[in-house]
Amino acid sequence: MNPYPLEGIRRKPELLAPGGSFEKARIAYLYGADAVYVGGKALNLRMRSKNLGDEDLAALAFLARRSGKGLYVTLNSLMRPRDLGPLKAALEYLRDIQAGGVIVGDPGAVLLARELAPGLPLHLSTQVSTMNHLSARFWEAEGIRRINLARELSLDEIQAIRRETSMELEVFVHGSLCVSYSGRCLLSHTMTGRSANNGHCAQPCRWTYRLVEEKRPGEYFPVGEGPDGSYILNSRDLCLIDDLPRLARAGIDALKIEGRMKGAHYVASVTRAYRRTLDACWPPTVDAGPDHTSRNDLLAVSHRPYTRAFLFPDSPQSPPEIDAETSLVQTHTLAGIVRAMPRLQGEDVDIVKPSSQAAPSWTCLEVRSQLRLGQTLHFLFPDGRTLRHPLQVMENHLGQSLATAHPNTLVRLPVPFSTFPLQVVRLSRPH
């Protein structure tokens, strides 16, 4: 039986981006996401993210429906007995606001969702580690519509699953990796008391470790197995942008970007890069890879060295998942976010089609990094353009000239091109 042959691709894969807050979700939509995934204030695996309260969830669900976008809410923590009451309330609320779907990882959550919100589409979290088509069929029988496959699968294994099931399959294509199998880690709980499986990971796998002999306190030795040492806890970041044509041909339904803890610069840049590359390689008849702009976007965000991880385990072109270098690559930072001019406050802003700022050519910017005259701002546009503007004039809301602007303040500056509210502006870091 072959319900979904590779040549029978149904539609372009959905591009799914992270929305760690109401604002970042809207930015993801603006820069090309077909759907976003967000967390509420409880029961998700990114509790350190800002997340969304009930009012924000309802507003985002309405905006998503109005614009034809997807919205999936994470309820993917492992559920203890005390969590079942809040889980019931959350499911009933998501049903009432007509969320586009809910991401679950606990069988009890699946049962409760089927009982309380039978019309709410259920997506299965990657933490369930679905790695074969029989598992996929099991979860399909339990009411799951989409499975986020285990990150440890190779492309050949993904294709084998695709051949044997017609349900929706989703894979991660970009973002942080976990050193534990499908993210089920006890290290954070053991060392800090903060459980990764309940959304409070302290990321101790990113810390630097040395070996200490019991009777030689203060003498630290690197943990080594070879000339470059042994680095068993330091994951690279996933980047599969070069492999989008092959993933599209494999019949994947959704391509997921990790990063609900990341900032607006990351969300805009990475979403834009994958949107442009996916559009260029669809229909998947040729291997149209990322262009120069898209590659630069991925290099400009804060990241660790990139890897293709497990997708091609035998390829000499795939760097290892573990890296000797623990430092983040940080060439650019978020300069600010464009806001509507004060006189335009209260007007409806389209979350999908950017509206231009009013003339004259003054742009209002909410500052996120310290700005100084003489710097160059980079304005990111969803269509791939990045327009540069040398910062020569800057004023506060009273029209007073500024030489320096500090984070969390509003400034206005004359810009010789149209901008739009929620536009992301970046800045090169000093060397």
Query: For the domain that residue 284 is a member of, what is the CATH number?
Result: 3.20.20.70
Q: 313 in a domain, yes or no?
A: no
Burial class (CB in 10 A: 0-12, 13-18, 19+), 235: buried
- Following DSSP, what letter does each residue of 52-75 receive, concatenated? --HHHHHHHHHHHHHHT-EEEEEE
Handedness of CA 99, 101, 103, 108 (dihedral sign): positive
Handedness of CA 104, 307, 33, 267 (dihedral sign): positive
Predicted TM-score (pTM) of the model is 0.85
Residues 242 and 137 in one domain: yes
pLDDT at 33: 98
Confidence of residue 198 (pLDDT cuts 50, 70, 90): low
Residues 62 and 152 in one domain: yes
Number of domains in the chain: 2
365's enclosing H/E stretch is strand 362-367
Residues 298 and 409 in one domain: no
Residues 345 and 408 in one domain: yes
Q: Using alpha carbons, select from 149, 209, 178, 431 the residue that is nearest to residue 304.
A: 178
Residues 135 and 37 in one domain: yes
Residues 114 and 255 in one domain: yes
Residues 390 and 247 in one domain: no
- Reported as a single tens digit per residue, the pLDDT across 128-183 is 999 999 999 999 999 999 999 999 899 999 999 999 999 999 999 999 887 665 66
CA 53, 54, 56, 61: dihedral to nearest 10 degrees? 140
pLDDT at 207: 65
- Give buried/exposed letters for 171-197 (b at 16+ CB in 10 A, else e): bbbbbbbbbbebbebebbbeeeebbbb
Confidence of residue 289 (pLDDT cuts 50, 70, 90): confident
Residues 29 and 75 in one domain: yes
pLDDT at 168: 97
Residues 281 and 384 in one domain: no
Q: Is the link from the previous residue into 283 a cis peptide, with omega within 30 of 0?
A: yes
Question: Angle at CA 278, nearest 5°, toward 131 and 418?
Answer: 135
Domain carrying residue 287? 14-182+237-307
Within 10 Å of residue 366's Cβ, how many Cβ atoms? 16
- Give buried/exposed letters for 1-34 (b at 16+ CB in 10 A, else e): eeebeeeebeebbbbbbbbbbbebbbbbbbbbbb
Q: 392 in a domain, yes or no?
A: yes
Domain limit, last residue, from 290, 307, 324 = 307
- Reported as a single tens digit per residue, the pLDDT across 339-359 is 988 753 344 555 555 655 544
Q: 137 in a domain, yes or no?
A: yes
- Reported as a single tens digit per residue, the pLDDT across 93-138 is 999 999 999 999 999 999 999 999 999 999 999 989 999 999 999 9
Q: Which residue has the higher pLDDT, 4 or 294?
A: 294
Q: 68 in a domain, yes or no?
A: yes
pLDDT at 321: 52
Confidence of residue 1 (pLDDT cuts 50, 70, 90): very low
Residues 296 and 342 in one domain: no
pLDDT at 313: 78
Q: 336 in a domain, yes or no?
A: yes
Residues 339 and 407 in one domain: yes
Residues 282 and 415 in one domain: no
CATH number at residue 384: 2.40.30.10
CA 39, 183, 85, 20: dihedral to nearest 10 degrees? -10
Confidence of residue 42 (pLDDT cuts 50, 70, 90): confident
Q: 210 in a domain, yes or no?
A: no
pLDDT at 40: 87
Q: 312 in a domain, yes or no?
A: no
Q: 203 in a domain, yes or no?
A: no
